[in-house]
Structures are given as structure tokens and as C-alpha cells.
């Protein structure tokens, strides 16, 4: 993970290494090398943690930086590839590949590209395979509630993907070929003058998909064609004013011919999915004085997904989701004096969704948000920093939210740093929870109605004589409140010596108002009617330990471990009161004991990853990465609604990935890699993990005189 | 089909002896002599094959059972009061309403089999009404006695659910469903499709029947 060679002592004096990947050109701003977290020095600048440029070792909250070199040397193509190798992050499957951060579901991590949020979640999950990594400069991961700066969704943390036109080679081309006819092609151009920088990037990704499911001719991952283009313009209008424009278009075609064979009988269906994702942002930055600067940001994005499924013996199925998000925001940074810096922000969001799962796919459901935030940083000495922040979000469709956060840094000495943060994050009810109007004709004709209209819809059905029973939950239906999380993070960074570093982080997140699907009644037929209520309370807690050691100028080791405990507080209370049952091997029920409770599903107690890294001055490199995840509960088998030892678990597993390559002085670099060397397969629980796959790639970077 | 007779309470003689020793004259308890019986592998419309729609196929039969006599009743007696409870795949009927002419009824009790010593006085026994698809023991996953997992295609009895039954003759019994698979062991999620198909719909359950008409077990 933390393959920071450029930082490490003697290595950083060997410039040949850098030629291959990044050519430093400090044309504008403070373009610098980006180091991974543990090896990073005070030069590494982070923007996500405070929404201002801060040196990594001055941050008060835990941040992980993944740089372009690590991504490239690991052979990572999509955002999921690199995130699954990070401490505290697990990949989830179902509705695309999402990530679980410190035990919290994908819904609770906001994903930003250059500071602007991505939209288009299905069941709360943003498919991170949508994001190509070919042109990015770095990824910043902030752990802990960050709603005080980012608003909704920033409950578990923030992942910000950053591209930068102001550095890099004028022309880069890459081509990769791998198992399952997976072809990934990149073309990146850059144009840099003294006051104008342009980056254009095109990525095309095609795969036949793979089949690892028994009894099925069909593929788990289906044939996919993805293309994506991004453009960035940075234009210095004057020495005090600059303008940044970012655009991104992605288009994804997924074709799925499903043929499931059971006992010689084959059922065919044809699925076609088309996803378009467009993002555009324009930002104007102006510096009034050394102490005062402001930026005006505008952003618009649309996510449009259409899914058609034709089954030979079933009804055709069509699913449409169109999500539109517009935002205007102003942020002003003011340095009151040497010790105090303040940030003020103000913005508005106009957001709308059209979906075939709502009462009409023609009508756009709308939510408007106005928000304001402020953050104050007090630095009385070089050793101590204190930051306080507060944000207020006012929503049209649901209750408003305040998000406070306090964080601090104490540098005991050059070896030891301590960070402490406590904050509140929130996640607004999403459109599905407000407006869903879905009846599953195929499976028992149950219905799910969004809370904003459940009572209205059910009252209509009752007038038609279709309602059998109304449950007590029906009368509890009201405007949904946001889900809240209170997070506490404590981090101890220990630079043992110039070659070794350790970081220990303790964390706890307490979540309340969890929005859960609850039965509110039945039809006359007995079929269930569901809606959403704020009822759940849960926690995730544990620690992360990360370490890094440079063996010599060529070899280094790094690794991370997460210990995680999770639980549903209401279920724990029920277990303690003796009203939760389980069955013994004979099938007799008995009262469940607390020590049989395993916590929230899909969470693993242990995750460990270790990376061995080799870099030679001649441009050769090799890395081997092993990732271990312990078992996790996937299904409630004994019907007691809590997850315990008697339930179904996915087995723990180890995946080993390796990549090696060589970069030549003429700008050509070659790479070959193997993922999942031990060929670990669990089709039901790890559909995103194909068996062993191979790839090889070639890349060319046009060299440019680096004499500026 | 193998029937097991198992006495869970202490021996009859010992019970009486204990009561006899009791000095509390005002609370003379009638000795509870109800025994718990276990029925193994009761076939209930077992699967004959896989349909073209991918669903299991079966003959659509119902297995009728007498809790009073602890035996299977012929389906030709479906319209009589000889049976108390009937099984057809995951559907469980009681001899009441649209299902039969008996005085039957049922409700689902949440708790442990042994803890249900007396049926609460205010309990109401529902009856079957097939025209409204409403049954005394509600149909469907997660409702009365089982959950169905669409991913593993396995049926698991819910822990802590007791079916409280009013028999065809108006007396009371309590039932705990122990298993739905042949041999009394739920299949592993990795079991073969054939096993999942053909080993299902074999009920193993235990029950206690109180012949004296009281609600005490």
C-alpha cells in the first residue's frame, strides 16, 4: 500500500526513478510529488481534510493518501482495485462494487472527484468500478464523520479523487490486456503554458466478463464496455485569479445473456444496461490579499441508467434511474492573524430523481438544500492545532441537520504526533426511502412505499378495500430524519526512525436514526407492505494499525491491520433481555447468549494486508500484496433476525496480487501482473473476485525537457 | 416414518409424589402428564422435478396428521375431523374454516417450547380462510415459522416460534417445527441443487397435546 519510495532517504536522490512516472513541473501553484501517507513528509498537501491546502503532518484528522505511482505499480485500473487494498476498507457486492469504511456501509462514504460529489446510487451503493484511475494524481481518504464540511453522506468518511492538469507529461498512452479479454486503453494529453494548463484523458475498458458460478453458463461479471473522458482546464486570468473547468463523461454498456441451467433445463434471459454519467464543474478562485481568498464553484451532474431484462418465460423488466444534482457554492478563506484561520462557506443544491420505481418515471422528485458552514483553526504553537467546524443543512424534504466537529493535533516531538477528533456526520434520507413505489409481482406481490407518500398511498388502497391489516408501525410513519453518526478518532503516529513508521488509530462510530425497512401492514391477500422508519441504532468500533519499514534502498515492507467490532444496539438490548432465540443442532429453540452475537452482517473482525515492494534505480519494480479478510455473516439462517454463530458466513480468505515492471529512460514502461494468485473463488459471496487473472501492459510517456 | 416417544417431564409417579408431599393445600396442582412427541421426516408434497419456470414441481398433495393419535390420516378423510394439522410444502393448515369441518385454530407464540406452560387466557385462535389467502398459520417467509433464503434457496425454521394449535376436537397442542429437510438436518448452502430440491419438504417437529381440554401443558 504505502510504497513511498521517493520519500525515503537515499531513494529520493535518484531522479531516474521519477522520470518514469511523474515529471515534476512546478508551473502553477504547488505541484509536488505526492507521497503515500506513512512515507509522506511535510510536503504532502491534503485538501480534503479541511477544504484548504494543508500539509499532511499538520492535519488534525486521520487521512490516507494514495499516490499515482502506487496505483500504477499495483496495476490498479478502477477505483475499487486500489481501495480494497487499504486498511479499514472492504469491498461490498450487490448493486455494484461499493466500499465499507470502518464497518459502515457504502451509503455512508461520500465519493468526490476534485471535490465534487458523484451521484447515482442504487440501494445506497455507488459502483466504484465507474471510476477509471488512469489520469489521477492522488486519492485522499479522510476517516471519520466529515459532514461539518461536506454535508450528507460524509458519515464514515470522504474519498476524494484528484486530477491535476498542472503536472505530468504532455502525452501518455497506455494499453493493457488481460484475462477474459479485458482491454484497457488510456490516452492522456497535457498542454502547459505559463498561465494555462489543459489535461485531456480518454479511457476505454472492455471485458468479456467471467463465469465462476456453478450451474450457470452465464457470467458473474458480464460483458462490459466502459468509456470515459475527462478534461481539465486551469487558466490563470491574473496572478490573483484563476479559473478551473472540469468535465467528465462516462458511458457504460453492459450486456448480459443469462442462461441458468438446472438439471438440464436452461432458462434464458437477456439483459441490457446503459449508464451515462456526466459531470461538469467550473470554479473561479480569487485571492484578494495574502489573508483573504474566495472561490465560487458551480457543479452539475447527471446519472442516467436504463436497464432492460427480457426473460423467455417471464415478464420483461425495465428499470430507469435518472439522478440530477446541481450545486453552487462559495467558500472564503480568511487568515485573521498568524494563529487563526477561518473558512466560511455557503451553498445551494438542487437535486432530482426520476425512476421507474417511483409512482411515475416521468415526474422528477425534487429536493432542495441550502447550507452554510464555517471552520476555525487555531494554532497557538507549532506543536498544537485546534480546529472547530459547524455546518447547517436545510432540506425541503426532510428534517434539517447540524454537523459539528472538533479536532486537534499535538506534536509531542518529531517522532510522536497525536490526533483526536470528534464529530457528527449525517446521511439524508435518499430518494428511494422517500419516494419508492414498488410492488414485486414476481415474489409474493409485496410492496415498498417511500415514507413521504406511504400513508397517502395506503389510505387510497384502504379506500379501495385492499388493505388487510395496519401495523403499529404504520401510525409511526412521519417525515424521515437524517441518520446520524457520532465519530471519535484517536491517532498516534510514531516515526520510529528514518526507515520505519507506525500509526495506530482507535475509532468508534455510534449511529442513530438508522433508516430501516419495516412492515407497516398487509394487503387483504396477506402480502406485506413495507415502508421506512428511523429506528435503528448501531455502532462500529475498533482499531487500525499501519506500519512501514524500509529495508534498504530497494526493498520495503508495509502493511495494515483493522480490528472491527460492530453491533445493532437494539438487538443487543433484546439479547440481553432474553427475547432472542436460536436453535440447537436438534432444532430445539433456546435463548441466545450475548457471546454468540456476531454484530452487523458483512463485517469482518479482522482485515490484514501486507505489501512487499522492490524498486531498483534502473527502473525495475516488483510488488507482492496479500490481503486477508476474516469470515463475515451473510445470511440469517435461523430466522431470529440477529446475526449469530448459527447463521451463514462467508469464509475468510486470502487474495494475493503481484505486479512487476520496468520503466525505460525513453518513456516506455512495461508491466505484467497476476491478481488472486491462489485462485480463491467464492461465487456467492465475492462476485467481484474472479479467479486468477493475468495482465500485461505497455505505456509510453512523451519526454519533455525538464528545465523549467 | 419413524415416531419417537419421548417423555420430557419426570416420571408420572415422581410427579405425583412431589405433589403429594406439598403442604400447600390451597394450591393443589393437577399433575401435568403431557408428553412431548417428535415426528420425523413427515413428507409434505415432496418435489418430483424442476419445472420449466425453474420452480420445483410437485403433485400438490397435502399430508394430514392427527395430533391426538400421532399418525398420518388419509387424504380421503380431509373433510372429517380425524385430522388436526396438515402440511403441503411450507403451508400448514389447521382443521378449521375453509380447510376442514373441525373446531381447529392456531396462533404463533414467540418463545420457547418448554416455557409455554399455559396458553394465555386472552389468546385468540385464527382459522383458515383460503379464499382470502389468510391462514391461521400465516404463509410466507419470515412470518410464521420459517424463513426462505433466496440466495441459498434453503428454508430454515425460525428460532423461538411455537405453533399453538386448537385440534379438530377443540383441545390444545403446541408444536415446534425443528427442520424442513430429510434426516432433520438443514442442508449446507453449498449442497447440490438436487439435494436442495429432493430433500426438502420433510417436516421434523415436536409437539405436546393436552387431552384433558385444559390450556396447561
Q: State percent of chain A over pLDDT 70.
A: 89
| Structure-block grid coordinates of residue A12 | 529520493
pLDDT of residue B16: 40
Which residue in chain B is spatially nearest to A469 when comparing CA positions?
B134
Examine residue B29 and state whether it is found in any structural domain, yes or no: no
**Alpha carbon distance A402, A390 (integer Å):** 7
Q: Is the pTM for the entire model greater than 0.90?
A: no
Quickly state the pLDDT bin for B13 (edges 50, 70, 90): very low
Comparison of pLDDT for A527 and A617, the residue scoring more = A617
Q: How far is A629 from chain B (nearest CA, A)?
A: 20
Chain A, nearest residue to B176 by Cα: A588
What pLDDT was estimated at residue A607? 96
Residue of B nearest to A264 (CA): B50
Please check whether residue B193 touches A, CB under 8 A: yes
Q: Report, as an integer, the average pLDDT of A34-50.
A: 66
pLDDT at A201: 95
Domain that holds residue B177: 34-210
Question: Is residue B50 in some structural domain?
Answer: yes
pLDDT confidence tier of residue A43, bands split at 50, 70 and 90: low
Reported as a single tens digit per residue, the pLDDT across A211-231 is 665 544 445 567 889 999 999
Using a CB–CB cutoff of 8 Å, tell me whether A260 touches chain B: yes
Say whether A525 and B133 touch across the interface (CB within 8 A).
Answer: yes
Which comes out higher in pLDDT, residue B141 or B79?
B79
Cα dihedral A464, A468, A471, A473, rounded to 10, equals -40
Q: Region A92-113: what's the mean pLDDT?
A: 89
Contact call for A588 and B186, based on CB within 8 A: no
Cell numbers 513508521 correspond to what residue? Answer: A501
pLDDT, one tens digit per residue, over A328-344 is 999 999 999 999 999 99
C-alpha torsion sign, points A93, A97, A103, A104 = negative
CB pairs under 8 A between A and B: 104
Residue B42 placed within a domain: yes
For B156, the closest of A262, A267, A639 (CB atoms) is A639
Q: Which residues 6+ apart lie within 8 Å of A413 measured at CB?
A: none
The DSSP annotation for A273-305 comes to EEEEEEEEEEEEEEEEETTEEEEEEEEEEEEEE
Contact residues, chain B, for A443 at CB < 8 Å: 150
DSSP β-ladder status, A446-449 and A528-550? parallel
> Does the structure show a pLDDT above 60 at A22?
no
pLDDT of A149: 94
3-state secondary structure A614-671: EECCCCEEEEEEEEEECCEEEECCCCCCCCECCCEEECCEEEEEEEEEEECCCCEEEE
Q: In a mutagenesis test of the A interface, which of B146, B160, B185 is the best target, namely the one with the most A β-carbons within 10 Å? A: B160
* Position B15 pLDDT exceeds 60: no
- Is B146 in Cβ contact with A639 (below 8 Å)? yes
* Model confidence pLDDT, tens digit, residues A265-299: 566 777 788 999 999 999 999 999 999 999 999 99
Q: Quick one: average pLDDT of A467-475? A: 85
* Residue B60 sits at the chain A interface (C-beta within 8 Å): no
Spatial CA neighbour of A75 closest among A630, A655, A661, A494:
A661
Q: How much is the pLDDT for A551?
A: 95
* CA–CA min distance A681, chain B (Å): 13
DSSP codes of every residue in A58-93: G-SS-EEEEEHHHHHHTT--BHHHHHTTSTTEEEE-
Out of B54, B159, B160, name the one closest to residue A262 (CB): B54
Rg from Cα positions in chain B: 19
* Residue that wins the pLDDT comparison between A682 and B74: B74
pLDDT digits (tens, 9 = 90+) for A229-259: 999 999 999 999 999 999 999 999 988 766 6
Distance from CA of B179 to the nearest CA of A (A): 6
B128 at interface of A, judged by CB pairs closer than 8 A: no
Contact A525 B50 (CB under 8 A): no
* Closest alpha carbon within chain B to A314: B53
Q: What is the pLDDT of residue B20?
A: 43
Summarize the confidence of residues A643-662 as an average pLDDT.
Answer: 92
**C-alpha cell recorded at residue A164:** 491535476
**How far apart are alpha carbons A218 and A258 in whole angstroms?**
5
Question: Is residue A2 pLDDT above 60, yes or no?
Answer: no
Residue A26's pLDDT is 31
| DSSP bridge partners of B18 | none
Question: Using CA atoms, how far apart are residues A70 and A137, in angstroms rounded to an integer?
Answer: 11
Q: Is the pLDDT of residue B164 over 80?
A: yes
Closest CB from B53, B139, B157 relative to A526: B139
Interface probe with B: pick from A466, A528, A589, most Cβ of B within 10 Å = A589
3-state secondary structure of B131: helix
Average pLDDT for A508-531:
87
Average pLDDT for residues B74-97, to the nearest whole number? 95
Burial of A274 (0-12, 13-18, 19+ CB in 10 A): middle
pLDDT of residue A250: 94
* Within-domain flag for B47: yes
What ipTM was reported for this prediction? 0.81
**Pick from A265, A589, A684: which is nearest to B50 by CB?**
A265
Mean pLDDT, range B97-109, rounded to an integer: 95
Cβ pair A155, A427 in contact under 8 A: yes
Question: Is A583's Cβ below 8 Å from some Cβ in B?
Answer: yes
- Most confident option among A310-324, A398-412, A516-530: A398-412
Q: How confident is the model at residue B104 (pLDDT cuts 50, 70, 90)?
A: very high
The cell for B65 is: 396428521
Give the Cα separation of B36 and B5 in Å (integer). 7
Whole-number pLDDT of residue A312: 62
- % of chain A at pLDDT higher than 90: 59
- For A358-399, the pLDDT digits (tens) are 888 888 889 899 999 999 999 999 999 999 999 999 988 778
The string over A490-504, giving b where at least 16 C-beta atoms fall within 10 Å of a residue's C-beta and e elsewhere, is bbebebeeeebbebe
Residue A40 DSSP label: -
pLDDT mean across residues, chain A: 86
pLDDT value at residue B6: 41
**How many domains would you assign to chain B?**
1
Instruction: Find, among B30, B34, B16, the residue nearest to B211 by Cα.
Output: B34
Per-residue b or e along B172-184, where b marks 16 or more CB atoms closer than 10 Å to that residue's CB: bbbbbbbbbbbeb
- In a domain? residue B71: yes
- Closest chain B C-alpha to A654 CA, distance in angstroms: 20
Residue A45 has pLDDT above 80, yes or no: yes
For residues A460-473, average pLDDT: 86
Interface contact A589-B189, CB threshold 8 A? no
Q: Which of A467, A602, A637 to mutate to test the interface with B (most CBs of B within 10 A)?
A: A637
Question: Which of B159, B160, B176, B184 is the best mutation test for A, with the most CBs of A within 10 A?
Answer: B159
Q: Which residues of B touch A444 (CB under 8 A)?
A: 140
* B124 touches A: beta carbon within 8 Å: no
Q: Name the band, by pLDDT with cuts 50, 70 and 90, for residue A1.
A: very low
Distance from CA of B181 to the nearest CA of A (A): 11
Which residues on chain A are in Cβ contact (under 8 Å) with B54? 260, 262, 265, 267
The confidence score (pLDDT) of residue B12 equals 38
Q: Are residues A648 and B189, on separate chains, in Cβ contact within 8 Å?
A: yes
- 3-state SS of A391-423 is EEEEECCCCCEEEEEEEEEEECCCCEEEEEEEE
pLDDT at B31: 53
The CATH architecture one would assign to domain A9-701 is Beta Barrel (2.40)
**Where is average pLDDT lowest: A468-472, A608-612, B111-115?**
A468-472
The one-character DSSP state at A542 is E
What is chain B's length?
217
The answer, for B52 touching chain A at a CB cutoff of 8 Å, is yes
- Residue B3 included in any domain: no
Can you give the pLDDT at residue A636?
76
Amino acid at each position: 500500500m504505502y510504497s513511498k519510495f521517493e520519500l525515503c532517504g537515499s531513494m529520493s536522490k535518484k531522479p531516474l526513478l521519477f522520470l518514469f512516472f511523474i515529471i515534476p513541473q512546478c508551473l502553477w501553484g504547488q505541484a509536488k510529488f505526492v507521497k503515500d501517507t506513512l512515507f509522506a513528509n511535510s510536503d504532502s498537501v491534503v485538501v480534503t481534510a479541511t477544504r484548504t491546502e494543508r500539509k499532511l503532518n499538520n492535519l488534525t484528522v486521520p487521512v490516507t493518501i494514495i499516490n499515482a505511482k502506487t496505483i500504477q505499480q499495483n496495476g490498479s485500473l478502477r477505483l475499487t482495485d486500489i481501495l480494497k487494498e487499504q486498511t479499514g476498507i472492504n469491498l461490498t457486492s450487490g448493486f455494484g462494487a461499493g466500499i465499507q469504511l470502518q464497518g459502515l456501509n457504502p451509503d455512508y462514504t461520500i465519493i468526490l472527484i476534485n471535490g465534487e460529489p458523484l451521484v447515482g446510487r442504487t440501494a445506497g451503493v455507488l459502483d466504484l468500478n465507474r471510476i477509471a484511475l488512469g489520469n489521477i494524481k492522488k486519492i485522499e481518504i479522510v476517516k471519520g464523520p466529515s459532514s461539518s464540511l461536506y454535508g450528507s453522506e460524509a458519515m464514515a468518511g470522504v474519498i476524494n479523487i484528484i486530477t491535476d492538469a498542472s503536472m505530468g507529461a504532455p502525452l501518455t498512452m497506455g494499453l493493457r490486456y488481460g484475462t477474459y479479454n479485458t482491454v484497457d486503453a488510456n490516452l492522456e494529453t497535457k498542454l502547459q503554458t505559463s498561465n494555462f494548463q489543459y489535461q485531456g484523458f480518454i479511457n476505454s475498458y472492455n471485458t468479456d466478463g467471467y463465469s465462476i458460478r456453478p450451474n450457470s453458463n452465464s457470467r458473474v461479471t458480464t460483458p462490459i464496455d466502459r468509456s470515459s473522458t475527462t478534461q481539465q482546464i486551469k487558466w490563470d486570468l491574473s496572478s490573483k485569479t484563476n479559473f478551473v473547468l472540469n468535465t467528465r463523461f462516462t458511458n457504460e454498456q453492459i450486456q448480459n445473456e443469462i442462461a441458468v441451467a438446472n438439471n438440464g433445463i436452461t432458462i434464458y434471459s437477456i439483459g441490457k444496461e446503459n449508464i451515462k454519467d456526466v459531470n461538469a464543474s467550473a470554479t473561479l478562485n480569487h485571492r484578494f490579499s495574502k489573508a483573504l481568498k474566495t472561490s465560487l464553484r458551480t457543479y452539475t451532474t447527471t446519472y442516467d441508467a436504463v436497464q432492460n431484462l427480457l426473460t423467455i418465460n417471464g415478464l420483461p423488466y425495465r428499470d430507469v434511474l435518472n439522478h440530477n444534482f446541481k450545486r453552487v457554492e462559495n467558500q472564503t478563506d480568511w487568515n485573521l492573524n498568524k494563529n487563526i484561520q477561518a473558512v466560511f462557506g455557503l451553498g445551494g443544491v438542487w437535486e432530482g430523481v426520476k425512476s421507474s420505481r417511483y409512482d411515475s418515471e416521468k415526474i422528477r422528485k425534487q429536493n432542495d438544500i441550502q447550507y452554510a458552514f464555517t471552520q476555525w483553526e487555531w494554532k497557538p504553537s507549532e506543536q498544537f492545532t485546534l480546529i472547530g467546524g459547524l455546518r447547517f443543512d436545510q432540506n425541503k424534504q426532510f428534517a434539517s441537520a447540524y454537523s459539528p466537529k472538533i479536532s486537534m493535533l499535538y506534536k509531542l516531538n518529531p517522532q510522536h504526533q497525536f490526533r483526536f477528533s470528534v464529530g457528527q456526520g449525517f446521511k439524508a434520507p435518499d430518494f428511494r426511502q422517500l419516494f419508492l413505489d414498488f410492488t414485486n409481482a414476481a415474489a409474493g406481490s409485496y410492496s415498498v412505499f417511500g415514507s413521504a407518500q406511504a400513508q397517502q398511498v395506503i389510505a387510497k388502497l384502504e379506500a379501495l378495500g385492499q388493505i388487510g391489516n395496519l401495523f403499529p408501525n404504520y401510525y409511526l410513519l412521519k417525515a424521515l430524519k437524517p441518520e446520524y453518526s457520532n465519530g471519535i478518532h484517536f491517532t498516534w503516529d510514531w516515526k520510529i526512525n528514518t526507515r520505519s513508521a507506525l500509526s495506530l488509530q482507535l475509532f468508534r462510530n455510534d449511529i442513530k436514526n438508522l433508516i430501516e425497512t419495516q412492515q407497516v401492514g398487509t394487503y387483504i391477500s396477506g402480502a406485506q407492505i413495507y415502508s421506512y422508519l428511523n429506528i435503528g441504532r448501531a455502532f462500529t468500533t475498533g482499531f487500525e494499525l499501519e506500519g512501514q519499514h524500509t529495508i534498504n534502498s530497494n526493498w520495503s515492507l508495509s502493511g495494515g491491520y483493522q480490528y472491527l467490532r460492530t453491533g445493532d444496539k437494539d438487538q443487543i438490548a433484546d439479547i440481553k433481555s432474553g427475547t432472542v432465540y436460536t436453535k440447537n443442532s436438534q432444532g430445539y429453540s433456546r435463548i441466545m447468549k450475548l457471546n454468540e452475537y456476531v454484530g452487523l452482517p458483512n463485517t469482518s473482525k479482522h482485515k490484514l494486508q501486507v505489501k512487499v515492494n522492490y524498486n531498483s534505480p534502473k527502473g525495475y519494480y516488483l510488488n507482492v500484496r496479500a490481503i486477508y479478510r476474516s469470515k463475515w455473516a451473510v445470511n440469517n439462517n435461523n430466522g431470529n433476525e440477529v446475526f449469530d454463530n448459527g447463521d451463514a458466513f462467508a469464509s475468510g480468505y486470502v487474495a494475493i496480487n503481484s505486479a512487476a515492471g520496468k520503466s525505460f529512460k525513453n518513456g516506455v514502461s512495461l508491466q505484467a501482473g497476476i491478481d488472486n494468485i491462489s485462485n480463491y473463488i467464492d461465487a456467492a459471496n465475492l462476485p467481484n473476485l474472479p479467479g486468477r487473472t493475468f495482465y500485461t501492459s505497455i505505456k509510453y510517456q512523451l519526454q519533455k525537457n525538464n528545465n523549467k | 416414518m419413524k415416531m419417537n416417544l419421548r417423555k420430557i417431564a419426570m416420571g408420572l409417579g415422581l410427579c405425583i409424589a412431589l405433589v403429594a408431599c406439598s403442604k400447600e393445600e390451597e394450591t393443589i396442582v393437577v399433575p401435568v402428564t403431557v408428553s412431548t412427541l417428535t415426528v420425523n421426516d413427515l413428507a409434505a408434497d415432496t418435489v418430483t422435478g424442476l419445472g420449466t419456470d425453474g420452480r420445483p414441481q410437485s403433485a400438490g398433495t397435502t399430508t394430514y396428521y392427527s395430533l391426538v393419535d400421532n399418525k398420518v390420516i388419509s387424504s380421503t378423510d380431509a373433510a372429517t375431523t380425524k385430522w388436526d394439522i396438515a402440511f403441503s410444502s411450507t403451508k400448514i393448515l389447521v382443521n378449521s374454516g375453509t380447510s376442514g369441518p373441525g373446531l381447529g385454530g392456531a396462533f404463533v407464540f414467540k418463545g420457547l417450547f418448554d416455557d409455554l406452560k399455559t396458553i394465555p387466557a386472552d389468546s385468540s385462535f385464527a382459522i383458515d380462510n383460503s379464499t382470502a389467502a389468510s391462514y391461521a398459520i400465516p404463509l410466507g417467509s419470515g412470518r410464521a415459522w420459517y424463513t426462505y433464503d433466496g440466495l441459498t434457496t434453503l428454508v430454515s425454521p425460525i428460532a423461538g416460534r411455537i405453533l399453538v394449535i386448537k385440534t379438530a376436537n377443540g383441545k390444545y397442542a403446541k408444536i415446534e417445527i425443528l427442520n424442513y429437510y430429510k434426516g432433520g438436518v438443514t442442508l449446507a448452502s453449498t449442497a447440490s441443487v438436487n439435494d436442495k430440491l429432493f430433500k426438502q419438504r420433510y417436516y421434523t417437529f415436536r409437539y405436546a397435546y393436552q387431552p384433558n381440554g385444559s390450556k396447561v401443558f
